[in-house]
Amino acid sequence: MTSPRYQPAELEPRWQNVWRERNLYKTSTNSEQPKYYALSMFPYPSGNLHMGHVRNYTITDVIARVRRMQGYRVLHPMGWDAFGLPAENAAIDRGIHPARWTERNIANMRRQLQSLGLSYDWEREFASCHPEYYRWTQWLFLQMWQMGLAYQKSAQVNWDPVDQTVLANEQVDSEGRSWRSGAKVQQKLLKQWFLRITHYAEELLRDLDTLTGWPERVKTMQANWIGRSTGAYLEFPVVGRGEKIGVFTTRPDTVFGVSYLVLAPEHPLVGTLTAPAQQAQVQEFCQQLAHLSAEERTANDQPKRGVPLGTQAVNPFTQQPVPIWIADYVLYEYGTGAVMGVPAHDERDFAFAQQYHLPITQVILPPGVVEITPLQQAYTEPGILVHSGEFDGLDSLTAKEKITQAAQERGWGEERVQYRLRDWLISRQRYWGVPIPMIHCDHCGVVPVPEADLPVLLPENVTLTGRGLSPLAQLTEWVQVPCPQCGRPARRETDTMDTFIDSSWYFLRFADAQNSQAIFASEKVNDWLPVDQYVGGIEHAILHLLYSRFITKVLRDRGLINFGEPFQRLLTQGMVQGLTYKTVQTGKYLTSEQVIYKNGECRDKETNEPVAIFYEKMSKSKYNGVDPEQVLAKYGADTARMFILFKAPPEKDLEWDDADVEGQFRFLQRVWRLVQNYREHPPKRVAESPPNERNLRRVIHQTIQAVTADTTGEYQFNTAIASLMKLTNELTDYQGDNSGIFDEGIRVLLTLLAPFAPHITEELWHQLGHEDSIHRQAWPQVDQQALVVDEITLVIQIMGKTRGTIIAPSQADQATLEQLAKNSDVGQRYLQGQTIKKVIYVPGKLLNFVLAS
């Protein structure tokens, strides 16, 4: 028999074709089997897979494959998050229609996914830009409209001047820049569509506690984003007028220390409360602020700036007048857009009071302190109340309660819970998205498109300039429609939806992807969901996951599904990092070809400048990326998968290392040779299994136990692969005859390795004469018996003197042990021809032969 060489380039595409032809990964719908839903976050079809994708999908693929072999019916789908700005920008830059550009990218990425040997059920594939899908996104919007959860309002919005669109707060980074274009975001007043996510703020927060399979870090990020604060709403009457200024405070215990009130510059009362003498100054101040983002206005290191309005309000607790100001650090969007300034106990107020020489009155003393000395900085901790009238001597906690209660009784305010979470702004003035299915009629107002008229198709013929209004607004013919209610001429809504809506329900659609009559059949979604294991990047820890949780709760309340949380377990995989070269002084990124090593130092070939070498997240601009296609071409998919899984635990960052890739390739070659060797020299059969074979069998079953735990409990694919390497070594080194145990070892090795390296294992499986796919084999079961260390070492003594040892089965009775001892080397030497007077047996320890002298 000639033994073939391991050639992944030949065997991998061959098996991929077989799997496709046999529809091997079609979702089983056998309801006798328990279900398992394994999902990777579906990608934006940018055109090419990067290593981050490869890592994400490999992790989920292993999980899906293990579960399938364990007898689950597994849902493991893939689709495309296909709307979004890059397609539109490509259209503008290169004159290709977004739809064509997207289709082309999907085709290429699908091919790349298939070359990785991922076990998707392609029959459930869909793209969010297809009418068959976005029809239901529109339908979902209409449901929310009917539920009062979708509404329109004029709002100060974040305007991206480069992409010419509105951004959600979540899409603006901490420096006030667009997450996509990087441009400084401006503020604009526009009529916009919102989804009332705030209605679910409390539940979205509370239910985080039920998500025991989520990383703590992600839950903390969500909780902070929702930002629940408890405190009080207090009203301050304006002196000599009817208006009252309502403030939200988390520190009602400091109310006796109020020195002034501050309104946000956008607050509606600013106009009426500005004294004539202050008008010019106030106007100028407001104009200056219009250019700044919320983050810039509230940054702690910024000087606080403000202007007095020239009017006063009364502190209801002290009856003292306090001046009313406007200031940059008070945001209109949070709380009531007005703040009571307590400089002694709030850092920002302290800075503000110092700047404008406003009084600083301390009303909270640190516990144990009795004397008031001038403050050098705000005292922000809880303490004991002073200068607070009837509340003197109370601790902060009690005082908060008592003061709120007093305010309530006297009609000055009430207890209040405040969330940082804002309603979700979803309208975008761009083309490549889902048209919002609404019609504006001069007689009837805003009228929803009737469900029967869905989908509102995105027109194909459109001129994309990237500037000005929504491109759809220029399509007069498309815009003009009769009003569905009164029939008179009306106009379509020309905004499209934020693409985060597309991805906030796609995981439900996979359960019933081809349904053309409904968004999905409830019983199918209730059967498959929640997702058992969701895998994706930490960059989605807030937005995507929060929106998905929100929409899930909406659909539950609409009676369409019977669960409220979409993802049972969440794994956020670490970054894939590449070796990065950066010049020390000028900070320039270099390719590996642009550097040279001199005396053990790395330098820029051109300038001779020293170069720092480190690992950083792969990115084009840093020349540290590794192209998956090249790795696949050189080593094959199995090696790439093995390396990614072996190099680091899934949540940790992974440093790309060519030598380690090579190492995994060599390991697969060892497996290959082991099986070839076995085929050429099958071991002889013997009936009994001597100790070394029992040892081998123990290793086999230890491996099953370890790999099972590492692929179903805490995911530790790296240690699972280490166990498989150990088993491979044991099988390679094994010197014995029992082909039963060796057969078992080879079979177990290949089946356990199959989820990690699906191609080579399938090939070897068939070389061993099997007809069926290895991926349809049952996951090996641990034989608990095999794990037991079933041998003892027994000391042999002659007349009380230790002469040697024997290895014996632990269950053997005394007679058997005596016989074994007599037959052993020691026995032959010392017992031959002797008369044994008696035998002393210490169970499990020793046999002492007493001889007749």
Positions that interact with ligand ANZ (CB under 6 A): 229, 248-251, 254, 264, 329-331, 334-335, 337, 339-340, 342, 345-346, 418
Q: Return the bridge partners of 719, or none.
A: none
CA angle, residues 20, 26, 31, in degrees to nearest 5: 160
Report the residue number, 248 or 352, with the smaller CB distance to ligand ANZ: 248
CA angle, residues 141, 146, 147, in degrees to nearest 5: 95
- Return d(Cα 185, Cα 176) in angstroms, integer: 6
418's contact among Zn ion, ligand ANZ, none, with CB below 5 to 8 A by partner kind, is: ligand ANZ
DSSP-derived secondary structure for 684-745? PP-SS--HHHHHHHHHHHHHHHHHHHHHHSS--HHHHHHHHHHHHHHHHH-----HHHHHHH
- Return d(Cα 844, Cα 853) in angstroms, integer: 27
| Pair of tokens at residue 100 | 């064509």
Return the residue of 386, 483, 529, 721 that touches Zn ion, per CB under 5 A. 483
Torsion angle (degrees, nearest 10) of CA 18, 21, 25, 28: -140
Do residues 849 and 836 make contact, with C-beta atoms less than 8 angstroms apart?
yes
Whole-number minimum distance, CB 337 to ligand ANZ, in Å?
5
| Pair of tokens at residue 399 | 């005082």
Whole-number minimum distance, CB 230 to ligand ANZ, in Å?
9
330's contact among ligand ANZ, Zn ion, none, with CB below 5 to 8 A by partner kind, is: ligand ANZ
Do residues 644 and 58 make contact, with C-beta atoms less than 8 angstroms apart?
yes
Report the residue number, 340 or 675, with the smaller CB distance to ligand ANZ: 340
The piece of 267-275, 461-469, 480-488, 779-787 that touches Zn ion (CB under 5 A) is 480-488
Report the residue number, 486 or 518, with the smaller CB distance to Zn ion: 486
Report the residue number, 146 or 224, with the smaller CB distance to ligand ANZ: 224
The piece of 31-39, 486-494, 541-549, 795-803 that touches Zn ion (CB under 5 A) is 486-494
Whole-number minimum distance, CB 379 to ligand ANZ, in Å?
8
- Return d(Cα 282, Cα 267) in angstroms, integer: 12
441's contact among Zn ion, ligand ANZ, none, with CB below 5 to 8 A by partner kind, is: Zn ion
Whole-number minimum distance, CB 375 to ligand ANZ, in Å?
12
Do β-strands 438-441 and 489-492 pair in parallel, antiparallel, or remain unpaired?
A: antiparallel
Whole-number minimum distance, CB 494 to Zn ion, in Å?
18
Q: 3-class DSSP state for residue 168?
A: coil
Whole-number minimum distance, CB 307 to ligand ANZ, in Å?
16
CA distances 51 to 41, 86, 576, Å, are 15, 20, 7
Report the residue number, 401 or 657, with the smaller CB distance to ligand ANZ: 401
Q: 3-class DSSP state for residue 442?
A: coil
Strands (E), 589-630: 589-590, 595-598, 601-604, 611-617
| Pair of tokens at residue 824 | 């052993």
Whole-number minimum distance, CB 482 to Zn ion, in Å?
8
CA distances 293 to 174, 188, 329, 331, Å, are 9, 11, 11, 10
444's contact among ligand ANZ, Zn ion, none, with CB below 5 to 8 A by partner kind, is: Zn ion
Report the residue number, 393 or 482, with the smaller CB distance to Zn ion: 482
Whole-number minimum distance, CB 493 to ligand ANZ, in Å?
31
667's contact among ligand ANZ, Zn ion, none, with CB below 5 to 8 A by partner kind, is: none
Would residue 542 be called left, alpha or beta, if left means φ above 0 and alpha means ψ between -120 and 50 degrees? Answer: alpha
Report the residue number, 118 or 344, with the smaller CB distance to ligand ANZ: 344
Do β-strands 321-327 and 595-598 pair in parallel, antiparallel, or remain unpaired?
A: unpaired
Q: Which H or E element spans position 280?
A: helix 279-289
325's contact among ligand ANZ, Zn ion, none, with CB below 5 to 8 A by partner kind, is: none
Report the residue number, 197 or 263, with the smaller CB distance to ligand ANZ: 263
Report the residue number, 314 or 444, with the smaller CB distance to ligand ANZ: 314
Return the residue of 46, 164, 485, 619 that touches Zn ion, per CB under 5 A. 485
Whole-number minimum distance, CB 291 to ligand ANZ, in Å?
18
443's contact among Zn ion, ligand ANZ, none, with CB below 5 to 8 A by partner kind, is: Zn ion
114 contributes a contact to Zn ion by CB under 5 A: no
Report the residue number, 421 or 754, with the smaller CB distance to ligand ANZ: 421
Report the residue number, 340 or 704, with the smaller CB distance to ligand ANZ: 340
Whole-number minimum distance, CB 243 to Zn ion, in Å?
39
CA distances 227 to 220, 381, 419, 505, 548, Å, are 10, 20, 5, 24, 18
Report the residue number, 335 or 435, with the smaller CB distance to ligand ANZ: 335
Whole-number minimum distance, CB 335 to ligand ANZ, in Å?
3
362's contact among ligand ANZ, Zn ion, none, with CB below 5 to 8 A by partner kind, is: none
DSSP state of 172: B
CA distances 813 to 301, 691, 764, 810, Å, are 82, 18, 44, 9
711's contact among ligand ANZ, Zn ion, none, with CB below 5 to 8 A by partner kind, is: none
The piece of 205-213, 218-226, 467-475, 477-485 that touches Zn ion (CB under 5 A) is 477-485
Pick out residues in 403-462 that bind Zn ion (CB under 5 A).
441, 443-444
Whole-number minimum distance, CB 142 to Zn ion, in Å?
17
| Pair of tokens at residue 734 | 């094994």
Report the residue number, 355 or 810, with the smaller CB distance to ligand ANZ: 355
Do β-strands 567-573 and 531-537 pair in parallel, antiparallel, or remain unpaired?
A: parallel
Whole-number minimum distance, CB 385 to ligand ANZ, in Å?
12
The piece of 47-55, 364-372, 476-484, 758-766 that touches Zn ion (CB under 5 A) is 476-484
Report the residue number, 441 or 497, with the smaller CB distance to Zn ion: 441
Q: 3-class DSSP state for residue 127?
A: strand
Return the residue of 486, 807, 836, 851 that touches Zn ion, per CB under 5 A. 486
Whole-number minimum distance, CB 238 to ligand ANZ, in Å?
18
- Return d(Cα 178, Cα 185) in angstroms, integer: 6
Report the residue number, 48 or 355, with the smaller CB distance to ligand ANZ: 355
334's contact among ligand ANZ, Zn ion, none, with CB below 5 to 8 A by partner kind, is: ligand ANZ
Q: Indicate if the alpha-carbon torsion angle 69, 70, 74, 79 is positive or negative.
A: negative
CA distances 532 to 36, 38, 677, Å, are 6, 6, 41
Report the residue number, 143 or 222, with the smaller CB distance to ligand ANZ: 222
Among residues 27, 230, 259, 217, the alpha carbon closest in space to that of 120 is found at 27
- Return d(Cα 323, Cα 330) in angstroms, integer: 16
Q: What share of the chain is helix, strand, coil (3-state, %, to 5)?
A: 40, 20, 35
Whole-number minimum distance, CB 171 to ligand ANZ, in Å?
21
486's contact among Zn ion, ligand ANZ, none, with CB below 5 to 8 A by partner kind, is: Zn ion
337's contact among Zn ion, ligand ANZ, none, with CB below 5 to 8 A by partner kind, is: ligand ANZ
Do β-strands 228-237 and 427-428 pair in parallel, antiparallel, or remain unpaired?
A: unpaired
Pick out residues in 605-664 that bind Zn ion (CB under 5 A).
none
Whole-number minimum distance, CB 356 to ligand ANZ, in Å?
17
Residues in contact with Zn ion, counted by CB under 5 A, come to a total of 6
Report the residue number, 187 or 485, with the smaller CB distance to Zn ion: 485
Whole-number minimum distance, CB 442 to Zn ion, in Å?
7
- Return d(Cα 436, Cα 141) in angstroms, integer: 8
Interface ranges with Zn ion (CB under 5 A): 441, 443-444, 483, 485-486
